[in-house]
Amino acid sequence: MPTQNALSTTAIRDLCRLPGATLTDWIEKGIVTPVAGGEKGRGHTRLFSFTQAVGLMVASQLRASERGCHPSYIAQVVTAFASLTVAELQTQIAQDGPHFVGIVQGKPVLRAIEYPEWPNVERIAKQVSKLAVK
């Protein structure tokens, strides 16, 4: 699996402001699956794709919101974003708007209308870009 634009678990935890054990717990429970690594123990770096990282940050913002986010929905959000290429994500942001509304048929739905609880995917993608391994 290609690791270009990939992020480590440490980068994901920092980016999403997740407690240390939360991402590890999500991986062990199968809520999220890294694109590379995954073996247990030191020296086995787990890597997440750019679009997975965007999905994880969207999900973590939903989780931190007043409404919260169930682990099964975290999995759906990450899977929906992971189903897109970076180019497809950029096109969708440009055509539909930057705000995450939900998931339809396994794909993220974005809109131009802004509500406080809707994560701004364009802003998130820019933050992920700064930490991604080139």
* Pick from 55, 44, 57, 43: nearest CA to 14: 57
Which DSSP state fits 88?
H
What's the confidence (pLDDT) of residue 26? 93
Parallel/antiparallel/unpaired status of strands 107-111 and 47-48? unpaired
| Per-residue model confidence as pLDDT tens digits over 65-77 | 988 999 999 999 9
**Domain spans, the chain:** 7-131
Reported as half-sphere exposure (CB side, CA atoms, 13 A), residue 29 has a value of: 11
Provide the CA 125 distance to its chain's centre, in angstroms.
Answer: 9
Report the pLDDT averaged over residues 32-42.
76
Contacts of 87 (CB under 8 A, 6+ apart): none
Look up the pTM and report it: 0.90
